[in-house]
Structure 1
Amino acid sequence: MAESPSGKAASGEESQARARVVQRLVEAARPLFASRGPAAVSLREVARAADVNYGLIYQYVGTKDDLLKLVLQRSSEDYAERFSRAESTDDAIGLLMRPKSSEYVRMVARSILEGRDPAAILGRSPAMAELSRRIADDVVAPGDEHVDSRVQVAALTSAALGWGLFGSFVKDITGLDDQSDEELTLAVYSLVRRGVLAPSSEDAPEPSASEGTTTRPS
Protein backbone atom coordinates (compact mmCIF):
# COMPACT_ATOMS: atom_id res chain seq x y z
CA MET A 1 0.00 0.00 0.00
CA ALA A 2 1.31 3.42 -0.97
CA GLU A 3 2.05 5.80 1.87
CA SER A 4 -0.44 8.65 2.12
CA PRO A 5 0.72 12.29 1.82
CA SER A 6 -0.09 12.79 5.49
CA GLY A 7 2.08 9.80 6.36
CA LYS A 8 5.01 11.22 4.38
CA ALA A 9 4.59 14.57 6.10
CA ALA A 10 4.58 12.93 9.52
CA SER A 11 7.71 10.96 8.62
CA GLY A 12 9.44 14.13 7.45
CA GLU A 13 8.54 15.98 10.63
CA GLU A 14 9.86 13.09 12.71
CA SER A 15 13.16 13.14 10.82
CA GLN A 16 13.50 16.88 11.34
CA ALA A 17 12.72 16.54 15.04
CA ARG A 18 15.32 13.81 15.36
CA ALA A 19 17.92 15.94 13.55
CA ARG A 20 17.23 18.83 15.92
CA VAL A 21 17.67 16.61 18.98
CA VAL A 22 20.93 15.18 17.66
CA GLN A 23 22.26 18.65 16.91
CA ARG A 24 21.42 19.81 20.45
CA LEU A 25 23.24 16.79 21.87
CA VAL A 26 26.32 17.53 19.74
CA GLU A 27 26.35 21.21 20.75
CA ALA A 28 25.98 20.31 24.43
CA ALA A 29 28.61 17.56 24.37
CA ARG A 30 31.36 19.55 22.63
CA PRO A 31 32.16 22.04 25.44
CA LEU A 32 31.74 19.34 28.11
CA PHE A 33 34.16 16.99 26.35
CA ALA A 34 36.58 19.89 25.83
CA SER A 35 36.56 21.08 29.44
CA ARG A 36 36.73 17.73 31.24
CA GLY A 37 37.32 14.97 28.70
CA PRO A 38 34.82 12.36 27.45
CA ALA A 39 35.61 9.91 30.28
CA ALA A 40 34.57 12.40 32.96
CA VAL A 41 31.31 13.37 31.27
CA SER A 42 28.24 11.18 31.64
CA LEU A 43 25.55 10.89 29.00
CA ARG A 44 23.04 12.06 31.59
CA GLU A 45 25.01 15.32 31.91
CA VAL A 46 24.92 15.75 28.15
CA ALA A 47 21.17 15.09 28.11
CA ARG A 48 20.58 17.68 30.85
CA ALA A 49 22.75 20.28 29.12
CA ALA A 50 20.91 19.68 25.86
CA ASP A 51 17.51 19.60 27.60
CA VAL A 52 16.85 16.25 25.93
CA ASN A 53 15.27 13.09 27.32
CA TYR A 54 18.10 10.79 28.41
CA GLY A 55 16.70 7.78 26.57
CA LEU A 56 16.85 9.59 23.26
CA ILE A 57 20.65 9.54 23.32
CA TYR A 58 20.70 5.75 22.98
CA GLN A 59 17.83 5.82 20.51
CA TYR A 60 19.20 8.54 18.23
CA VAL A 61 22.99 8.40 18.75
CA GLY A 62 24.12 5.32 20.71
CA THR A 63 27.02 5.08 23.15
CA LYS A 64 29.36 7.80 24.41
CA ASP A 65 31.94 6.75 21.82
CA ASP A 66 29.27 7.13 19.14
CA LEU A 67 28.52 10.63 20.44
CA LEU A 68 32.22 11.56 20.49
CA LYS A 69 32.56 10.33 16.90
CA LEU A 70 29.57 12.42 15.90
CA VAL A 71 30.95 15.53 17.62
CA LEU A 72 34.31 15.12 15.85
CA GLN A 73 32.66 14.50 12.50
CA ARG A 74 30.30 17.48 12.79
CA SER A 75 33.17 19.75 13.82
CA SER A 76 35.28 18.64 10.86
CA GLU A 77 32.37 18.99 8.41
CA ASP A 78 31.64 22.47 9.77
CA TYR A 79 35.24 23.57 9.21
CA ALA A 80 35.27 22.00 5.74
CA GLU A 81 32.26 24.10 4.79
CA ARG A 82 33.88 27.25 6.19
CA PHE A 83 37.10 26.54 4.32
CA SER A 84 35.12 26.06 1.13
CA ARG A 85 33.19 29.33 1.56
CA ALA A 86 36.24 31.45 2.45
CA GLU A 87 36.91 34.17 -0.12
CA SER A 88 40.62 33.37 -0.35
CA THR A 89 42.96 30.57 0.65
CA ASP A 90 44.59 32.91 3.17
CA ASP A 91 41.17 33.45 4.75
CA ALA A 92 40.64 29.68 4.90
CA ILE A 93 44.01 29.21 6.60
CA GLY A 94 43.11 31.96 9.05
CA LEU A 95 39.95 30.07 10.02
CA LEU A 96 42.08 27.07 10.98
CA MET A 97 44.02 29.16 13.46
CA ARG A 98 41.35 31.38 14.95
CA PRO A 99 40.57 31.31 18.71
CA LYS A 100 37.31 29.34 18.54
CA SER A 101 39.15 26.21 17.39
CA SER A 102 40.78 25.88 20.82
CA GLU A 103 37.66 24.09 22.09
CA TYR A 104 38.17 21.42 19.44
CA VAL A 105 41.89 21.25 20.30
CA ARG A 106 41.16 20.65 23.98
CA MET A 107 38.58 17.98 23.18
CA VAL A 108 41.06 16.12 20.98
CA ALA A 109 43.87 16.48 23.54
CA ARG A 110 41.76 15.16 26.41
CA SER A 111 40.58 12.24 24.30
CA ILE A 112 44.18 11.29 23.51
CA LEU A 113 45.21 11.55 27.17
CA GLU A 114 42.38 9.14 28.00
CA GLY A 115 43.86 6.59 25.62
CA ARG A 116 41.39 7.17 22.79
CA ASP A 117 42.46 7.66 19.18
CA PRO A 118 40.46 10.56 17.70
CA ALA A 119 42.05 9.96 14.29
CA ALA A 120 40.73 6.39 14.24
CA ILE A 121 37.31 7.64 15.32
CA LEU A 122 37.16 10.43 12.73
CA GLY A 123 39.05 8.90 9.82
CA ARG A 124 40.37 11.32 7.22
CA SER A 125 39.14 14.77 8.15
CA PRO A 126 36.87 16.48 5.59
CA ALA A 127 38.23 19.81 6.85
CA MET A 128 41.85 18.84 6.20
CA ALA A 129 40.94 17.46 2.78
CA GLU A 130 39.20 20.71 1.78
CA LEU A 131 42.03 22.92 3.05
CA SER A 132 44.58 20.73 1.22
CA ARG A 133 42.57 21.17 -1.97
CA ARG A 134 42.50 24.95 -1.66
CA ILE A 135 46.21 25.19 -0.92
CA ALA A 136 47.07 22.86 -3.81
CA ASP A 137 45.05 25.06 -6.17
CA ASP A 138 46.32 28.46 -5.00
CA VAL A 139 49.59 28.31 -3.04
CA VAL A 140 53.13 26.97 -3.41
CA ALA A 141 55.74 26.33 -0.76
CA PRO A 142 58.85 28.50 -0.50
CA GLY A 143 61.43 27.11 -2.93
CA ASP A 144 59.37 24.09 -3.99
CA GLU A 145 56.38 24.24 -6.30
CA HIS A 146 55.74 20.52 -5.98
CA VAL A 147 55.43 20.10 -2.23
CA ASP A 148 52.45 18.01 -1.15
CA SER A 149 49.69 20.34 0.09
CA ARG A 150 48.82 17.75 2.74
CA VAL A 151 52.26 18.30 4.27
CA GLN A 152 51.63 22.03 4.33
CA VAL A 153 48.28 21.48 6.03
CA ALA A 154 49.96 19.13 8.51
CA ALA A 155 52.48 21.85 9.42
CA LEU A 156 49.79 24.53 9.79
CA THR A 157 47.56 22.23 11.82
CA SER A 158 50.44 21.24 14.11
CA ALA A 159 51.06 24.92 14.84
CA ALA A 160 47.37 25.55 15.42
CA LEU A 161 47.03 22.56 17.76
CA GLY A 162 50.15 23.49 19.70
CA TRP A 163 49.23 27.14 20.09
CA GLY A 164 45.64 26.28 20.89
CA LEU A 165 46.71 24.03 23.73
CA PHE A 166 49.84 25.76 25.05
CA GLY A 167 49.60 29.34 23.78
CA SER A 168 48.76 30.87 27.15
CA PHE A 169 51.59 28.96 28.85
CA VAL A 170 54.10 29.88 26.14
CA LYS A 171 53.12 33.55 26.32
CA ASP A 172 53.82 33.63 30.05
CA ILE A 173 57.13 31.75 30.04
CA THR A 174 58.56 33.79 27.17
CA GLY A 175 57.84 37.09 28.89
CA LEU A 176 55.38 38.23 26.25
CA ASP A 177 52.84 39.55 28.76
CA ASP A 178 53.67 43.06 27.50
CA GLN A 179 51.88 42.20 24.24
CA SER A 180 48.15 42.00 23.79
CA ASP A 181 46.61 38.71 22.78
CA GLU A 182 45.73 40.21 19.40
CA GLU A 183 49.28 41.41 18.72
CA LEU A 184 50.81 38.11 19.72
CA THR A 185 48.38 35.88 17.86
CA LEU A 186 48.80 37.88 14.67
CA ALA A 187 52.60 37.77 15.02
CA VAL A 188 52.66 33.99 15.56
CA TYR A 189 50.25 33.41 12.70
CA SER A 190 52.36 35.58 10.38
CA LEU A 191 55.55 33.63 11.16
CA VAL A 192 53.86 30.27 10.65
CA ARG A 193 52.21 31.42 7.43
CA ARG A 194 55.49 32.72 5.95
CA GLY A 195 57.41 29.64 7.03
CA VAL A 196 55.02 27.12 5.52
CA LEU A 197 53.61 28.88 2.48
CA ALA A 198 54.89 31.25 -0.16
CA PRO A 199 52.81 34.36 -0.91
CA SER A 200 49.73 33.57 -2.98
CA SER A 201 49.47 34.71 -6.56
CA GLU A 202 47.20 37.52 -5.41
CA ASP A 203 49.70 38.50 -2.71
CA ALA A 204 46.81 38.55 -0.25
CA PRO A 205 47.40 40.36 3.07
CA GLU A 206 47.43 38.53 6.36
CA PRO A 207 43.88 38.06 7.76
CA SER A 208 42.68 40.57 10.27
CA ALA A 209 42.21 39.71 13.95
CA SER A 210 38.47 39.35 13.42
CA GLU A 211 38.77 37.12 10.37
CA GLY A 212 41.60 34.74 11.21
CA THR A 213 44.04 34.85 14.09
CA THR A 214 46.29 32.26 15.57
CA THR A 215 44.53 29.91 17.91
CA ARG A 216 44.52 31.18 21.49
CA PRO A 217 43.19 29.12 24.40
CA SER A 218 39.83 30.42 25.57
Structure 2
Amino acid sequence: MSASESTPKAWGRDEVRRAVLRAARSGFAAKGTSVTVREIAAAAGVNLGLIHKYLGNKEDILAAVLARDTEVSTSTIENVGSLPDAVTSLFAIGLSDPEYVRIAAWLLLEGRTDLLLGNQADGMRAVRGIAPDSRNADVRLMTALAAIAGWSLFSEGILTFAEADATDRSAIESRMSELLATIVALPQFAPDLAEDGHH
Protein backbone atom coordinates (compact mmCIF):
# COMPACT_ATOMS: atom_id res chain seq x y z
CA MET A 1 0.00 0.00 0.00
CA SER A 2 1.39 3.41 -0.93
CA ALA A 3 1.65 6.34 1.49
CA SER A 4 -1.17 8.11 -0.32
CA GLU A 5 -3.49 5.12 0.19
CA SER A 6 -2.78 4.94 3.92
CA THR A 7 -3.22 8.68 4.51
CA PRO A 8 -6.81 9.74 5.24
CA LYS A 9 -8.34 12.06 2.69
CA ALA A 10 -8.16 15.78 3.43
CA TRP A 11 -11.90 16.34 3.53
CA GLY A 12 -13.77 19.45 4.53
CA ARG A 13 -16.28 19.71 7.36
CA ASP A 14 -19.39 18.90 5.31
CA GLU A 15 -17.79 15.89 3.61
CA VAL A 16 -16.61 14.52 6.95
CA ARG A 17 -20.03 14.99 8.52
CA ARG A 18 -21.83 13.26 5.63
CA ALA A 19 -19.45 10.30 5.57
CA VAL A 20 -19.45 9.90 9.35
CA LEU A 21 -23.22 10.18 9.75
CA ARG A 22 -23.76 7.61 6.99
CA ALA A 23 -21.28 5.18 8.58
CA ALA A 24 -22.54 5.89 12.10
CA ARG A 25 -26.13 5.25 11.12
CA SER A 26 -25.22 1.81 9.77
CA GLY A 27 -23.05 1.10 12.81
CA PHE A 28 -25.72 2.10 15.35
CA ALA A 29 -28.34 0.07 13.43
CA ALA A 30 -26.12 -3.02 13.48
CA LYS A 31 -24.59 -2.79 16.97
CA GLY A 32 -26.42 -0.17 19.00
CA THR A 33 -24.31 2.05 21.20
CA SER A 34 -21.61 -0.62 21.43
CA VAL A 35 -20.26 0.56 18.07
CA THR A 36 -17.09 2.56 18.68
CA VAL A 37 -16.05 5.89 17.22
CA ARG A 38 -12.96 4.12 15.90
CA GLU A 39 -15.21 1.65 13.99
CA ILE A 40 -17.28 4.53 12.65
CA ALA A 41 -14.12 6.35 11.53
CA ALA A 42 -12.85 3.24 9.74
CA ALA A 43 -16.18 2.65 7.99
CA ALA A 44 -16.35 6.30 6.95
CA GLY A 45 -12.72 6.43 5.84
CA VAL A 46 -12.24 9.48 8.02
CA ASN A 47 -9.46 10.38 10.45
CA LEU A 48 -10.59 9.91 14.05
CA GLY A 49 -9.43 13.41 14.97
CA LEU A 50 -11.69 14.94 12.30
CA ILE A 51 -14.69 13.19 13.81
CA HIS A 52 -14.01 14.75 17.19
CA LYS A 53 -13.38 18.12 15.56
CA TYR A 54 -16.52 18.24 13.43
CA LEU A 55 -19.01 16.04 15.28
CA GLY A 56 -17.81 15.48 18.86
CA ASN A 57 -18.08 12.26 20.84
CA LYS A 58 -20.21 9.17 20.23
CA GLU A 59 -23.27 10.64 21.99
CA ASP A 60 -23.03 13.74 19.79
CA ILE A 61 -22.81 11.56 16.68
CA LEU A 62 -25.82 9.51 17.76
CA ALA A 63 -27.81 12.68 18.51
CA ALA A 64 -26.97 14.00 15.02
CA VAL A 65 -28.07 10.71 13.40
CA LEU A 66 -31.36 10.72 15.32
CA ALA A 67 -32.00 14.39 14.57
CA ARG A 68 -31.43 13.85 10.86
CA ASP A 69 -33.80 10.86 10.75
CA THR A 70 -36.44 12.71 12.73
CA GLU A 71 -36.16 15.67 10.38
CA VAL A 72 -36.88 13.42 7.40
CA SER A 73 -39.89 11.80 9.09
CA THR A 74 -41.23 15.11 10.40
CA SER A 75 -40.95 16.86 7.03
CA THR A 76 -42.70 13.89 5.41
CA ILE A 77 -45.55 14.10 7.91
CA GLU A 78 -45.87 17.86 7.53
CA ASN A 79 -46.30 17.48 3.77
CA VAL A 80 -49.39 15.26 3.97
CA GLY A 81 -52.94 16.26 4.70
CA SER A 82 -54.30 13.51 6.92
CA LEU A 83 -53.35 10.99 9.57
CA PRO A 84 -53.93 8.01 7.21
CA ASP A 85 -51.63 9.66 4.65
CA ALA A 86 -49.01 10.26 7.38
CA VAL A 87 -49.11 6.59 8.41
CA THR A 88 -48.84 5.48 4.78
CA SER A 89 -45.81 7.75 4.33
CA LEU A 90 -44.16 6.50 7.53
CA PHE A 91 -44.74 2.90 6.48
CA ALA A 92 -43.04 3.66 3.15
CA ILE A 93 -40.07 5.20 4.99
CA GLY A 94 -39.84 2.12 7.22
CA LEU A 95 -39.83 -0.14 4.15
CA SER A 96 -37.22 1.79 2.24
CA ASP A 97 -34.94 2.55 5.17
CA PRO A 98 -35.40 0.44 8.32
CA GLU A 99 -32.16 1.58 10.00
CA TYR A 100 -33.85 4.24 12.14
CA VAL A 101 -36.23 1.63 13.57
CA ARG A 102 -33.27 -0.65 14.32
CA ILE A 103 -31.44 2.18 16.07
CA ALA A 104 -34.55 2.99 18.11
CA ALA A 105 -34.93 -0.69 19.03
CA TRP A 106 -31.31 -0.86 20.23
CA LEU A 107 -31.77 2.28 22.32
CA LEU A 108 -34.95 0.91 23.88
CA LEU A 109 -33.23 -2.40 24.68
CA GLU A 110 -30.29 -0.51 26.17
CA GLY A 111 -32.60 1.65 28.29
CA ARG A 112 -31.62 4.85 26.48
CA THR A 113 -35.11 6.25 25.93
CA ASP A 114 -33.70 9.65 26.92
CA LEU A 115 -32.06 9.81 23.51
CA LEU A 116 -35.33 9.10 21.72
CA LEU A 117 -37.83 11.26 23.62
CA GLY A 118 -36.88 14.65 22.21
CA ASN A 119 -36.82 13.38 18.65
CA GLN A 120 -40.09 11.51 19.01
CA ALA A 121 -41.74 14.61 20.47
CA ASP A 122 -41.01 16.49 17.23
CA GLY A 123 -42.69 13.76 15.22
CA MET A 124 -45.74 13.67 17.47
CA ARG A 125 -46.08 17.47 17.22
CA ALA A 126 -46.08 17.10 13.43
CA VAL A 127 -48.82 14.46 13.66
CA ARG A 128 -50.87 16.67 15.95
CA GLY A 129 -50.42 19.48 13.45
CA ILE A 130 -52.22 17.50 10.74
CA ALA A 131 -54.68 15.82 13.12
CA PRO A 132 -55.63 18.20 15.94
CA ASP A 133 -57.88 15.52 17.44
CA SER A 134 -54.95 13.09 17.53
CA ARG A 135 -55.19 12.88 21.32
CA ASN A 136 -58.15 10.66 20.54
CA ALA A 137 -56.21 8.98 17.73
CA ASP A 138 -53.20 8.08 19.87
CA VAL A 139 -54.21 4.41 20.38
CA ARG A 140 -54.79 4.01 16.65
CA LEU A 141 -51.55 5.79 15.88
CA MET A 142 -49.61 3.68 18.40
CA THR A 143 -51.05 0.54 16.79
CA ALA A 144 -49.90 1.71 13.38
CA LEU A 145 -46.44 2.72 14.65
CA ALA A 146 -46.06 -0.63 16.41
CA ALA A 147 -46.89 -2.40 13.15
CA ILE A 148 -44.45 -0.24 11.19
CA ALA A 149 -41.66 -0.85 13.71
CA GLY A 150 -42.39 -4.56 13.95
CA TRP A 151 -42.45 -5.00 10.19
CA SER A 152 -39.23 -3.02 9.77
CA LEU A 153 -37.49 -5.27 12.29
CA PHE A 154 -39.06 -8.66 11.72
CA SER A 155 -40.51 -8.80 8.21
CA GLU A 156 -38.17 -11.54 7.02
CA GLY A 157 -39.07 -13.80 9.92
CA ILE A 158 -42.78 -12.99 9.70
CA LEU A 159 -42.86 -13.84 6.00
CA THR A 160 -41.03 -17.11 6.70
CA PHE A 161 -43.31 -18.08 9.60
CA ALA A 162 -46.38 -17.20 7.54
CA GLU A 163 -44.99 -19.33 4.68
CA ALA A 164 -45.56 -16.39 2.35
CA ASP A 165 -44.00 -16.45 -1.08
CA ALA A 166 -41.19 -13.88 -1.26
CA THR A 167 -42.58 -12.71 -4.60
CA ASP A 168 -45.76 -11.64 -2.76
CA ARG A 169 -43.87 -9.28 -0.44
CA SER A 170 -44.67 -6.10 -2.36
CA ALA A 171 -48.39 -6.93 -2.55
CA ILE A 172 -48.45 -7.84 1.16
CA GLU A 173 -46.78 -4.57 2.11
CA SER A 174 -49.17 -2.59 -0.05
CA ARG A 175 -52.16 -4.20 1.67
CA MET A 176 -50.59 -3.67 5.09
CA SER A 177 -50.10 0.02 4.33
CA GLU A 178 -53.76 0.33 3.32
CA LEU A 179 -54.85 -1.51 6.46
CA LEU A 180 -52.82 0.76 8.75
CA ALA A 181 -54.24 3.84 7.04
CA THR A 182 -57.73 2.44 7.58
CA ILE A 183 -57.05 1.70 11.25
CA VAL A 184 -56.05 5.28 12.07
CA ALA A 185 -59.20 6.53 10.32
CA LEU A 186 -61.61 4.41 12.40
CA PRO A 187 -63.37 6.68 14.94
CA GLN A 188 -64.93 3.82 16.92
CA PHE A 189 -61.46 2.86 18.20
CA ALA A 190 -60.77 6.36 19.46
CA PRO A 191 -63.56 7.36 21.85
CA ASP A 192 -63.34 10.77 23.44
CA LEU A 193 -61.50 10.21 26.71
CA ALA A 194 -63.75 12.72 28.46
CA GLU A 195 -66.77 10.57 27.62
CA ASP A 196 -65.12 7.62 29.39
CA GLY A 197 -64.69 9.69 32.53
CA HIS A 198 -60.88 9.72 32.06
CA HIS A 199 -58.92 12.96 31.95
Counterpart among 62, 71, 92 of residue 68 in structure 1: 62
Instruction: State yes or no: 1:50 paired with 2:50.
Output: no
What TM-score results when the alignment is normalised by the length of structure 2?
Answer: 0.73
- Which residue is 1:25 aligned to? 20
Q: Deviations over 1:160-191 (max 9, x none)?
A: 11111112211211222276111111122222
Q: Deviations over 1:115-171 (max 9, x none)?
A: 241x311323222321232233xxxxxxxx775344443222111111111122112
| Aligned counterpart in structure 1 of residue 79 of structure 2, from 85, 98, 112 | 85
TM-score by length of 1: 0.67
Q: CA deviation at 1:22?
A: 2.3
Aligned to 2:6: none
How many Å separate the matches in 2 of 1:107 and 1:147? 27
Looking at structure 2, the residues matched to 71 and 146 of structure 1 have their Cα atoms a distance apart, in angstroms, of: 27
1:189 aligns to 2:177 (yes or no): yes
Q: CA deviation at 1:19?
A: 4.2
CA 1:65–1:116: 2 relative to 1, 3 Å: farther
* Among candidates 31, 35, 38, match of residue 36 of structure 1: 31
* CA distance in structure 1 between the aligned counterparts of 2:46 and 2:156, rounded to whole angstroms: 35
Q: Distance in 1 between matches of 2:38 and 2:166?
A: 44
State the 1:85 CA deviation. 2.7
2:152 paired residue number: 164
Aligned 1:105-144 pairs, distance under 5 A: 105-113=101-109, 115-117=110-112, 119-124=113-118, 125=120, 126-136=122-132
Q: Secondary structure at the match of 1:52?
A: coil
| One-letter code aligned to 2:27 | L
**Local SS of the residue matching 2:131:** helix
Instruction: Provide structure 1 residue ranges, at least 5 long, that are not aligned to the other structure.
Output: 1-16, 137-144, 200-218
1:76 shift after superposition: 0.5
* In 1: Cα distance, 2:55 partner to 2:47 partner: 12
May I ask how many residue pairs the two structures share in their alignment? 172
SS of equivalent to 1:148: helix
More helix by share: 2
Q: Is the 8 A contact 2:104 2:116 kept in 1?
A: no
